[in-house]
Amino acid sequence: MSARKIAITSPKGGAGKTTIAVNLAVAYALSGITTYLVDADGNAGSMQYHLRLQQVKTTLIGLIRRVAAQSGKQDDIMAVVSAGGQYLNAFTQIEELPTLKVLPGLVTDDLGDQALQNEELINRIITGLYEAGVASGGVVIMDVGINPAHPVHRAALRAAESI
């Protein structure tokens, strides 16, 4: 398996992006590969509902807000290592399938959040999610929305090895 940073996208809504992303992640996880599934749909994702998650550790917007509040301490190596741990800790492990870990995305109320205007921060977080998942020996799959102008979508597509 060569590509470990995978983005699932389509220019059309309702084409089955989330269904494909979830099924691909489950297939990897059932194969024994630790799989990190990220709902990177900046237009309000549905992955949390697809997987029927009742409780989650945090969401992508929650992680973005938390990292934004910590602001600017990414210059030294310990800060980078710490950020990687924070990214991995944001995922919710699926109880019935321990090799599958999920980070739900934005809900409608989050769409106008000021943190989504910080493209540099979003790039750092999305790249960090990919890198942390791969560094831990896993595969990272991002379910990306249809709007290529959205900072979350651009970051997820830019950092992917396979689209």
pTM for this entry: 0.88
Residue ranges and CATH numbers for the domains of the chain are 18-159 (3.40.50.300)
**Closest CA relative to residue 142, chosen from 155, 33, 30:** 155
> pLDDT at residue 46 above 80?
no
pLDDT at 111: 61
pLDDT at 78: 45
> Binning pLDDT at 50, 70 and 90, where does residue 1 land?
low
90 or 73: which leads in pLDDT: 90
> Binning pLDDT at 50, 70 and 90, where does residue 73 land?
low
The mean pLDDT value of the chain amounts to 85
For residue 87, how many other CB atoms are within 10 A of its CB?
A: 26
In the chain, what is the straight-line distance between the N-terminal and C-terminal CA atoms, in Å? Answer: 15
Mean pLDDT within 30-35:
97
pLDDT at 159: 94
Q: How far apart are CA 163 and CA 158, in angstroms?
A: 10
Task: Name every residue whose Cβ is closer than 8 Å to that of residue 136 and which is 6 or more positions away in sequence.
Answer: 34, 88
